[in-house]
Structure 1
């Protein structure tokens, strides 16, 4: 059980840093206010996450997650995929089933939850 805590903590921390530094207050993001956040499902196949990221960046401006962008770090697929999933959720009102899920927990606070 203790061996499972470190990966969960590290993922939660990386995700929280990525989303917090880029998203800010949910009432200020996107065109509408939606409850919760769309975050990546860690069990989603990496090739499907990459395909959705590629698709999404052909549809919207992904400069924040490109080198030099405000949300580029951490440069990991899970963080960038969470960014694009939440971008589509904020602007289009959907969270891609199978790749992401909606959580009522602010991703900026996920690392606190994983410490408990």
Structure 2
């Protein structure tokens, strides 16, 4: 009986640890086919409420200066805070979109 309790506890601990590490290895980026107006609206809304200095001129993620790149950064910023990857314009990615000096949250 004690052994089964240990196994159940170990199983639950594994689920917690595995799900936590999985969340850390997932990013949210803009869908390639997302409409520009929706990306821009999301970007404007998100940066009105969050620190988007990294995608402002001179910021570490400003270049390439594209709507797709900036929206991806904003989508991931929200994803880190809420756990929600906006399904209308975003998609989960297991590849880190960081590059050069640009580090996604």
The answer to whether the superposition gives a TM-score over 0.5 is: yes
Q: Aligned residue pairs: how many?
A: 77
Instruction: Report the counterpart of residue 59 of structure 1 in structure 2.
Output: 49
Structure 1: distance between partners of 2:31 and 2:44: 17
Name the CA distance, whole Å, in 2 between partners of 1:101 and 1:69: 24
Residue in structure 1 matched with residue 27 of structure 2 by the alignment: 37
Q: Which has the higher relative contact order, 1 or 2, with Cα contacts under 8 A spaced 6 or more apart?
A: 1
Report the Cα distance in structure 1 between the residues aligned to 2:37 and 2:76, rounded to whole angstroms.
18
Give the drift of 1:108. 5.0
Say what the alpha-carbon RMSD is for the aligned residues: 1.6
Q: Pairwise mapping of residues 1-116 of structure 1 onto structure 2 (< 5 A)?
A: 33-108=23-98
1:5 counterpart residue number: none
**CA distances 1:18-68 after superposition (whole Å, capped 9, x unpaired):** xxxxxxxxxxxxxxx544110110111000000000000011011111111
Under a length normalisation based on structure 1, what TM-score does the superposition of the two structures give? 0.61
Q: Which runs of 4+ in 1 moved over 3 A?
A: none
**Could you tell me how far 1:85 is from its partner in structure 2?**
0.2
2: CA distance, partners of 1:34 / 1:95: 14
